[in-house]
């Protein structure tokens, strides 16, 4: 199952896109294979955008390309692998978009960098609802298979995590005290901390995860129109949420506040 920490370049089917062989440049046969693999993924995404995730079948992809469905198995082992490759391409694209938005704000303002990235995530999701649905809002048992493993490639989720590392390094904020958290949750957060390099304490990771839950929930509700019943401007609510997140991330720890008061 894909997660926000899935390596964004981990699924390419049987193709050898963008690589050289161990002995040199790609052969003519390998270049043809690469081109066909790219065309399969492009066709699948076009079907997704035009007709939705349910239309993303091997038969439909093959028909669009003038092939038979069995012919696609020369390039991908299964339907799930094709869908997984499309999802990874989408995440790769989104990662680059978010990085560009983040870098419009200087590194001396990490909270501002986070706000710019969150706004871009919302903008992208509203502009690409079908891709968002497939990659972020599909049922767990319908999601693509787990990535072969997370390597050196930057994942989508790491974009937000890296900004939290910047924020914490720039200025400490009032993160939850792990002494006030359920022991089981603390153990899980410590395990997560070890998995991402022990760069943030459990309380800060909880703030990060809580922020992601709020961001993901707000964007998902808006993409699917589930706030329309309230007749409230979703954009205004989103900005109010970001303002609240910003306040939380710029509020100094209690000990710091107490020292300043004295």
Domain edges within the chain: 87-261
Section 21-47 average pLDDT? 85
Q: Domain 87-261: which topology?
A: Tetracycline Repressor; domain 2 (1.10.357)
Which tens digits make up the pLDDT trace of 186-227?
Answer: 999 999 999 888 999 999 999 999 999 999 999 999 999 998
28: confidence class by pLDDT, cuts 50, 70, 90: confident
Output Rg (C-alpha) for the chain, integer angstroms: 21
Q: What is the pTM of this model?
A: 0.82
Residues in the chain: 262
Section 46-55 average pLDDT? 93
Whole-angstrom Cα distance, residue 35 to residue 237?
Answer: 44
Q: Which H helix or E strand runs over 30?
A: helix 28-51
């Amino acid at each position: 199952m894909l997660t926000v920490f899935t390596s964004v370049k981990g699924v390419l089917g049987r193709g050898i896109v963008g690589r050289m062989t161990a002995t040199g440049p790609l052969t003519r046969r390998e270049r043809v294979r690469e081109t066909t693999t790219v065309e399969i993924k492009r066709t699948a995404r076009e079907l997704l955008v035009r007709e939705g995730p349910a239309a993303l079948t091997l038969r439909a992809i093959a028909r669009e390309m003038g092939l038979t469905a069995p012919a696609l198995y020369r390039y991908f082992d299964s339907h799930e692998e094709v869908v997984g490759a499309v999802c990874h391409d989408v995440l790769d694209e989104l990662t680059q978009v978010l990085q560009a938005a983040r870098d419009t704000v200087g590194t001396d303002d990490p909270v501002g960098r986070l706000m710019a990235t969150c706004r871009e995530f919302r903008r992208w999701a509203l502009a690409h609802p079908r891709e968002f649905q497939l990659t972020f809002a599909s049922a767990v048992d319908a999601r693509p298979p787990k990535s072969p493993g997370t390597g050196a490639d930057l994942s989508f989720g790491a974009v937000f995590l890296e900004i939290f590392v910047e924020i914490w390094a720039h200025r400490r904020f009032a993160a939850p005290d792990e002494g006030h958290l359920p022991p089981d949750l603390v153990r899980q957060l410590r395990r997560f901390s070890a998995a991402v390099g022990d760069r943030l304490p459990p309380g800060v990771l909880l703030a990060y995860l809580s922020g992601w839950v709020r961001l993901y929930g707000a964007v998902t509700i808006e993409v699917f129109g589930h706030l329309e019943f309230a007749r409230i401007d979703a954009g205004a609510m989103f900005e109010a949420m970001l303002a609240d997140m910003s306040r939380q991330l710029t509020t100094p720890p209690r000990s710091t506040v107490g020292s300043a008061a004295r």
